[in-house]
Structure 1
Amino acid sequence: MSKKVVSLLFSNYKNDNRVFKMANSLAENGYDVTILALCYGDVPEAETQGKIKVRRLKLKSSKLPSGNKIFGSIKYLEFIFSIIWGYRKADIWHCNDFKPFMVGVMARFFNRKLKLVYDCHELESERNGVTSIERFLVLKVEKWFIKKSFVIHVSEGIKSYYKTKYGTADSRTEIILNTPHTSTYVKSNVLKERLNLLPEDKLYIYQGGLMKGRGIETLLTVFTELSEFHIAFMGYGAFEEKIKLASKENNNIHFVPAVPYNEVVTYTSSADYGLISVENICLSYYYCMPNKLFEYVQAEIPILVNALEDCRNFVEGNGIGLAVKEETPESWREAVLELSKRDKSEFTSNLKKVKEIYNWQNEEKKLLEFYKKV
């Protein structure tokens, strides 16, 4: 009989390729998988994605007024107990981030046989913007319950942090990187053509969230000065208007709305270099390994990365790009000029090797082996 897995997340599950890839890998290999999310926005309450069942909870209390703490507490309690009561008989809860893990801990009081997989997408107690109360709660719940659970991390740095802090056993932890499927490389010019650039124009790309803490303002400053190089910001977020304004004032700065996930690598391969400019403003960012890193690898473009431990070690250790020395516009400017002078061919052979190692086909094998222990 197939083990029943509930993949729980506190969003409407509209754009989360990591959650989908994990659920799909499990479903394709004999697990009975349900993704459980919230129902808001333009998403259906129920749908099927391949062998995955997707269920989104629509709360009766959602009609209560917003902005009231009492009503907010009622909504939260309804959500928690709807999940626990409706899905308490599952074999495994795959908890995406801390809040679902906390609900999973409560669910175990109703089903002592329930196994929890705590999928830490970040270093939860050291996230950007976490409040002192949230940090206290995360630290206490993790301290009491993490060693009784199975834990997935997104980088070596975060895994080491948890092992040092809580003594988590290697046999109950695994690193699953957020890599895309490996692709047969076909160089594309779709992005340069869309931006009316010549094939020989040097194009840098930043893709992902356009928001505070991602180094967007620094990149705008740098490329305003380096008008001989082009930069495309591909994604969505609070800084869209700021980028659009800069693009009107600078012919080398471009905004490209986010494209469907299955087209990302095609667009990326049209650029010459990939940028990772996440700012070192919290430990979670310092140890991050964002999916754009591996998308650049699959597109076989050299990478310029900020001074973040795991990213820097990955890029420099594999010889697939350069690392910026300091988080200043001056240091970024020097790094852009240095990378632009290099012959791209010195990185190409390494990129081809690395993409055969760091892809979802290989991460899936790790996931399935890990689930055999659960």
Structure 2
Amino acid sequence: MKNNSVVHVTSVHPRYDTRIFLKMCNSLAMSGKNVSLIVADGKGDELSDKGVTIYDVGLSVGRLSRMLKTTKLVYNKAIELKADVYHLHDPELIPIGLKLKKKGFKVVFDAHEDLPKQLKSKPYLNVFFKKILPLLFEFYEKFSLSKFDALVGATPSITSKLSKLNCKSYNINNYPIIGELNQFNDTLWSEKADEVCYLGGITEIRGIKEVILALPSAPCVRLNLAGRFSEPHIEQEVKSCKAWEQVNELGFIDRTFAAEILGRSKAGIVTFHDYPNHIDAQPNKMFEYMSAGLPIITSNFPMWRELVEGEECGICVEPTDPKAIADAINFIIRNPEDANRMGKNGLRAVQLKYNWAAEEKTLLTLYKEI
């Protein structure tokens, strides 16, 4: 590869992942670096309009095949590219990072989640593995992450943990790009439909059941539901509810359509359940709702409450209480002046501090320092 070359690597995320591609890869490419992205989605190689070369190693079916076959293919492609820096985005790629380090390459590991905490809430793990696997991975983190040239945390809590393992740790929040999702923000509040939205991965612990069960208590409101169900039994359960009649099921949508949905909705919902990996999280969707000028309905976790109440940009609720969610929806629908004010407050907060422009500076500093 050319000098000043960077390769971002993922075996899990889609090629146009918001954090990896839209933000990091594009920012690095626009700063003058030669950027490539290795993915595993079966859609073939591609050169993006920003000059990012995407290499596809092929799609593997099943978690085990991905962890064994795909990671090997990813490693072979990474070695072939001979880049100056490799930036890894999945925990299963840590062994690849260690191999690359042994060959003298610079390696950055990016922790999107606190995996030990995340493992405790995985629905496919039994009680024993939910206890033992987080402990084993914590030990593995201590052994491996100190060897990398830099670590990146997607939230302050993750970065604080990483900094104890490696002094070269950087906090790069997954804040939205200003202007990307508010193209339809000029719609008058009085002209919006009585709709609220939920965008993102759809799971039980992200509160989908309670959101659906809240709808009958807000009978004139429709839910714009964008995303994929990852648990077939939960999908079947919620679709069997009478309240499903109030849902506009949109499936996975692109960023342009997402902006349109945000523009016609009156609130964005992110009511994750009280799990270890959620309490200190900073859901990307929460800030994206704010960036589109929407009031947000969120879980009443202390850190989330501090942001929502501090910025006066939404309502915090008990996420397992459908009535509390319904009350918040009804308040926003019935009080347009308050709702509009909350939406504008959220947008202002994003424009002033919760935006990618500030995080981009940290990303570029990281690369300069290593």
Which of 109, 121, 125 matches 1:118? 109
* Matches of 1:157 and 1:116, distance apart in 2: 22
CA deviation after TM superposition for structure 1 residue 209, in Å? 1.4
Contact between 1:3 and 1:32, CA under 8 Å: does it hold in 2?
Answer: yes
Which of 297, 301, 326 matches 2:290? 297
CA RMSD of aligned residues (A): 3.3
Which of 233, 247, 254 matches 2:248? 254
Aligned residue number for residue 25 of structure 1: 27
Contact between 1:182 and 1:355, CA under 8 Å: does it hold in 2?
Answer: no
Aligned residue number for residue 354 of structure 1: 349
Which string of whole-angstrom CA distances, capped at 9 and with x for unpartnered residues, describes residues 160-191 of structure 1?
A: 3444xx3543x53222324234246543669x
* Matches of 2:71 and 2:185, distance apart in 1: 51
Which string of whole-angstrom CA distances, capped at 9 and with x for unpartnered residues, describes residues 5-26 of structure 1?
A: 1111113734412111211111
CA deviation after TM superposition for structure 1 residue 296, in Å? 0.7
CA deviation after TM superposition for structure 1 residue 331, in Å? 3.2
Aligned residue number for residue 34 of structure 1: 36
Contact between 2:198 and 2:270, CA under 8 Å: does it hold in 1?
Answer: yes
Which of 268, 274, 280 matches 1:280? 274
Q: Which moved more, 1:359-368 or 1:266-275?
A: 359-368
CA deviation after TM superposition for structure 1 residue 212, in Å? 2.5
Which string of whole-angstrom CA distances, capped at 9 and with x for unpartnered residues, describes residues 262-305 of structure 1?
A: 33123202111111012122x22222222211221121011110
Aligned residue number for residue 195 of structure 1: none
Q: Give the total of aligned pairs.
A: 351
1:365 correspondence with 2:361: yes
CA deviation after TM superposition for structure 1 residue 58, in Å? 4.3
CA deviation after TM superposition for structure 1 residue 232, in Å? 2.0
CA deviation after TM superposition for structure 1 residue 372, in Å? 1.5
* Matches of 1:341 and 1:286, distance apart in 2: 30
Which string of whole-angstrom CA distances, capped at 9 and with x for unpartnered residues, describes residues 209-252 of structure 1?
A: 12221101011111123213332212222455555554x65653
- Give me the TM-score of the superposition, normalised by structure 1: 0.81
CA separation of 1:185 and 1:135: change in aligned 2, threshold 3 A? same
Contact between 2:15 and 2:54, CA under 8 Å: does it hold in 1?
Answer: no
* Matches of 2:30 and 2:226, distance apart in 1: 32
Which string of whole-angstrom CA distances, capped at 9 and with x for unpartnered residues, describes residues 18-49 of structure 1?
A: 11121111111121111112253xx01x2111
What aligned pairs does 1:212-291 form with structure 2 within 5 A after superposition? 212-238=204-230, 242-246=237-241, 251-281=245-275, 283-291=276-284
Instruction: State the secondary structure of the residue aligned to 1:213.
Output: helix
Instruction: State the secondary structure of the residue aligned to 1:11.
Output: coil
Contact between 1:224 and 1:250, CA under 8 Å: does it hold in 2?
Answer: no
Contact between 1:276 and 1:293, CA under 8 Å: does it hold in 2?
Answer: yes
Match of 2:362, as an amino acid? K
CA deviation after TM superposition for structure 1 residue 145, in Å? 3.1
CA deviation after TM superposition for structure 1 residue 121, in Å? 0.9
Q: Which moved more, 1:271-280 or 1:328-337?
A: 328-337
* Matches of 1:135 and 1:116, distance apart in 2: 24
- Give me the TM-score of the superposition, normalised by structure 2: 0.82
Aligned residue number for residue 173 of structure 1: 170
CA deviation after TM superposition for structure 1 residue 314, in Å? 2.3
Q: Which moved more, 1:150-159 or 1:331-340?
A: 331-340
CA separation of 1:54 and 1:77: change in aligned 2, threshold 3 A? closer
Contact between 2:98 and 2:147, CA under 8 Å: does it hold in 1?
Answer: no
Instruction: State the secondary structure of the residue aligned to 1:236.
Output: coil
CA separation of 1:336 and 1:78: change in aligned 2, threshold 3 A? closer
What aligned pairs does 1:6-155 form with structure 2 within 5 A after superposition? 6-11=7-12, 13-20=14-21, 21-40=23-42, 43-44=43-44, 46-49=45-48, 50-58=50-58, 75=69, 78-79=72-73, 81-83=75-77, 85-87=79-81, 89-111=82-104, 114-127=105-118, 128-129=121-122, 131=129, 134-149=133-148, 150-155=150-155
Match of 2:345, as an amino acid? N
Match of 2:185, as an amino acid? K
Contact between 2:207 and 2:319, CA under 8 Å: does it hold in 1?
Answer: no
